[in-house]
Amino acid sequence: MKNDTTNKPYINELVINWHITEACNYNCAYCFAKWGKPNELHRSLEEIEKLLDNLALYFINGQSRLKSELGYETVRLNLAGGEPMMLGSTFFIILMLAKQKGFKTSIITNGHYLVNSRLDFPKNLLDMVGISFDSQDLITRKKIGRVDRKGNSLSFEDLKVALEGLIETQKGIKTKINTVVNSLNYEEDFSSLIGELKPYKWKVLQVMPYGADDLLISNDKFNQFVERHSGLGLPIFAESNSTMTESYLMIDPLGRFYQNSVNACGYKYSDSINQCGVERALSQIAFNPKTFFSRYCQIDIDVLES
């Protein structure tokens, strides 16, 4: 998409993914959220507020390099994990503070605490939700590790209840279902599930090469999955491994930017954003605005088609 006046590429929204905790009640074999450090930033409300202030000052209120390169109008803070809802009331406080400071908000969750929590979700805190759902079959979900210690796993019915609850309490919320395509589910047919739930977007991701190698699939198998679900009027958006590299602005549980890279193994981390400031921290990672741009362009196209 081009900006009419300057002919420069632009996106409407910048998305910052903050992985607020590594803790999770599930144990997916392909999970890359394994930092193994106890000093997560969310333990201090003061540090949380400082981080949100730093991000708002740079990305919303200031004139950042990315703002002039990408020309975004809004900034969305996406809370991910681990499982972000494991933080209970702190999770809601982070969302409230983010709203107050001018962010749009979204979460990526495995959905468990949307249907199994003593805390009610406060009204109108969320602009978007992504719920991970990999299989309609309990045995497959168990093999993947999408199950807690008691054997609970989000079923299709649970997913439906979770989405209906959020649609009722979060005015205008956009709903997304995320499916990681791997060797255990690549032959599964999701068309009637997605057709019935009618999410705003169904994001289909190829399993990344972390953790269990036996879950990996070839690009061909991933493409077959995508083709099989295409042309059916489903809001499918596919992300292969190459578009998933260096395309997200990501913050880890310790409050550092981090990035996976094509050439390097593992992650590259910045210093703590609260200690060195956003601009310095951003310069320490290999953030690629071009990949970021192409990803959001595709999403725009996807929205136009659905």
How near is the Cβ of 299 to ligand SF4 at its closest, in Å? 21
Is residue 28 within the footprint of ligand SF4 (CB under 6 A)? Answer: yes
How near is the Cβ of 253 to ligand SF4 at its closest, in Å? 12
Contact pick of 9, 10, 33, 223 for ligand SF4 (by CB under 6 A): 33
Is residue 31 within the footprint of ligand SF4 (CB under 6 A)? Answer: yes
How near is the Cβ of 180 to ligand SF4 at its closest, in Å? 8
Contact segment (CB under 6 A) with ligand SF4 among 5-13, 21-29, 55-63, 186-194 equals 21-29
Eight-class DSSP state of 243: T
Cβ burial of 108 (10 Å; 0-12, 13-18, 19+) is buried
How near is the Cβ of 206 to ligand SF4 at its closest, in Å? 14
Q: Is the CB of residue 128 less than 8 Å from the CB of residue 176?
A: yes
Query: Which residues are paired to 258 by β-bridges?
Result: 250, 269
Question: What is the SS3 assignment for 172?
Answer: coil
Count CB atoms within 10 A of the CB of residue 276. Answer: 16
Contacts to ligand SF4 from residues 126-165, by CB under 6 A: 132
Is residue 253 within the footprint of ligand SF4 (CB under 6 A)? Answer: no
Binding mask 51-90 for ligand SF4 (x = CB under 6 A): ------------------------------xxx-------
Between CA 219 and CA 239 the distance in angstroms is 11
Contact segment (CB under 6 A) with ligand SF4 among 28-36, 167-175, 207-215, 264-272 equals 28-36
Nearer to ligand SF4, 31 or 299 (CB): 31
For the residues of 102-162, what is the DSSP string, one character each? T-EEEEEE-SHHHHS-SSPPPTT--SEEEEE---S-HHHHHHHT-S-TTS----HHHHHHH
Binding mask 163-182 for ligand SF4 (x = CB under 6 A): --------------------
Query: Which residues are paired to 177 by β-bridges?
Result: 131, 202
Rounded to a whole number of angstroms, the CA Rg of the chain reads 19
The residues of the shown chain that bind ligand SF4, judged by CB under 6 A, are 24, 26-28, 31, 33, 81-83, 110, 132
